[in-house]
């Protein structure tokens, strides 16, 4: 039995997948992380000339970075990234090691930043964490026999060499257009691998995440009629699922419920009555603060919530800002539907 551990450079993979998708003529391409270890095991069995059952993938590690202090326009993007890592951890049992990168209030994607801005996020932690975890596992007696590494940067050359010097074998899993020459070299002059490289390019159809429609049962207590429905949506484990009809009924109720206070006033006093105006100075309390992400919400006495980013603070320090603290601020944007407005110049209450 061969014990295999998979080590994924998530930052590299995140950068590489769109290119891989483009080359293979696929528009939207997502990798199926449940299938990846199986492909690795099968390809290893092939290369070793053993039965598939003789390969035991004991652990999958993924190392990646998570932006902090980013421009709040990227909130949705980062939420999706977070959900993705939670999915890997909880549903696919990956070991996820995530490292924060301070974006200093900037947009996460370089394409979204000012072209003159030469800001470079520092993300060296990911490489070093991957290297040290792999060396640790390679040096452990009875730890692993084979490290399957999903990466492409030449910085990993010395660590792959050392893993091999420790008597462990290395399978390189990479993408042709995103793999450093030293690693890709079929003659392996740098001595970084024990097998022919597993090119993800050659297995793209197999690795692609497909949303095959499946039958689920609507769990809404208000559902009427037959509960089974077909969907391509993959609910998270334990997540309640609703059919389309129940979901749209629910979201309609929610959005009207969230602004119920104003709707009553609307009918009595006209559309804008009761709502603050943009630029208006309001009093509020810090309702909630997301420490590691650099944002929070303030709520007025009337119960209207406004988002703020740490760059919206004035004479206030984000770290020492406390939930429940009273503040003054100006309205930057108004709430829409169920979505909070935005605050600016969030500052201490005048004494």
Q: Does 246 bind Zn ion (CB under 5 A)?
A: yes
Q: In 160-172, which positions are buried (b, 16+ CB within 10 angstroms) versus exposed (e)?
A: beebbeeebbbbb
Tokens of 194: 């024990």
Closer by beta carbon to Zn ion, 151 or else 243: 243
Minimum distance, C-beta of residue 159 to Zn ion, in the bound complex (Å)? 52
Tokens of 314: 């004035």
Beta strand extents in the chain (DSSP E only): 2-9, 55-68, 95-102, 146-150, 169-174, 198-199, 214-217, 228-231, 281-290, 295-299, 305-309, 326-333, 341-348
Helices 244-258, 260-269: axis angle to 10 degrees equals: 60
Half-sphere exposure of 207 (CA within 13 A, CB side): 25
Minimum distance, C-beta of residue 237 to Zn ion, in the bound complex (Å)? 20
- Which stretch, 55-63, 86-94, 244-252, 336-344, contacts Zn ion (CB under 5 A)? 244-252
Minimum distance, C-beta of residue 251 to Zn ion, in the bound complex (Å)? 13
Q: Using CB under 5 A, count the residues that bind Zn ion.
A: 5
Distances (CA, A) of 74 to 68, 110, 116, 297, 310: 10, 12, 20, 16, 14
Closer by beta carbon to Zn ion, 220 or else 345: 220
- For the segment 23-82, give every residue that binds Zn ion (CB under 5 A): none
Closer by beta carbon to Zn ion, 176 or else 247: 247
Closer by beta carbon to Zn ion, 245 or else 316: 245
Closer by beta carbon to Zn ion, 30 or else 223: 223
Q: Does 243 bind Zn ion (CB under 5 A)?
A: yes
Binding mask 201-240 for Zn ion (x = CB under 5 A): -----------------x-x--x-----------------
SS3 at position 125: helix
Closer by beta carbon to Zn ion, 209 or else 224: 224
Tokens of 127: 């490489």
Minimum distance, C-beta of residue 254 to Zn ion, in the bound complex (Å)? 15
Residues found near Zn ion in the complex (CB under 5 A): 218, 220, 223, 243, 246
């Amino acid at each position: 039995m061969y014990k295999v551990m998979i080590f994924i450079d998530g930052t590299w993979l995140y950068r590489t997948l769109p290119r891989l998708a483009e080359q293979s003529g696929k528009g939207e391409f997502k990798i199926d992380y449940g299938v990846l270890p199986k492909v690795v095991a099968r390809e290893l069995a092939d290369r070793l000339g053993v039965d598939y059952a003789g390969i035991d993938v004991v652990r999958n590690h993924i190392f990646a970075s998570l932006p902090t202090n980013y421009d709040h326009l990227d909130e949705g993007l980062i939420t999706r990234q977070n959900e993705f890592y939670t999915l890997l951890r909880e549903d696919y049992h990956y070991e996820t090691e995530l490292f924060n990168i301070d974006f200093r209030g900037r947009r996460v994607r370089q394409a979204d930043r000012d072209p003159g801005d030469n800001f470079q996020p520092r993300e060296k932690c990911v490489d070093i964490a991957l290297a040290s975890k792999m060396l640790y596992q390679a040096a452990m007696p009875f730890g692993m026999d084979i490290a399957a590494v999903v990466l492409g940067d030449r910085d990993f050359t010395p660590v792959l060499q050392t893993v091999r010097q420790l008597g462990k074998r290395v399978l390189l899993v990479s993408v042709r257009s995103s793999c450093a020459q030293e690693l890709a070299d079929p003659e392996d002059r740098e001595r970084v691998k024990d097998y022919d490289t597993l090119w993800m390019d050659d297995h793209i159809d197999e690795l692609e995440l497909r949303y095959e429609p499946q039958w689920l049962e609507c769990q809404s207590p208000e559902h009427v009629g037959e509960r089974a429905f077909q969907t391509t949506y993959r609910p998270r484990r334990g997540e309640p699922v609703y059919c389309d009809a129940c979901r749209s009924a629910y979201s309609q109720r929610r959005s009207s419920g969230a602004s119920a206070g104003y709707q009553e006033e609307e009918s009595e006093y006209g559309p804008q009555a009761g709502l603050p105006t943009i630029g208006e100075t309001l009093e509020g309390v810090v309702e909630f603060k997301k420490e590691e992400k650099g944002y929070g919400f303030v709520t007025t006495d009337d119960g209207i919530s406004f988002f703020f980013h740490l760059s919206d603070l004035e004479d206030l320090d984000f770290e020492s800002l406390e939930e429940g603290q009273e503040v003054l601020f100006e309205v930057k944007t108004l709430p829409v539907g169920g979505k909070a407005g935005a605050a600016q110049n969030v500052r201490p209450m005048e004494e």
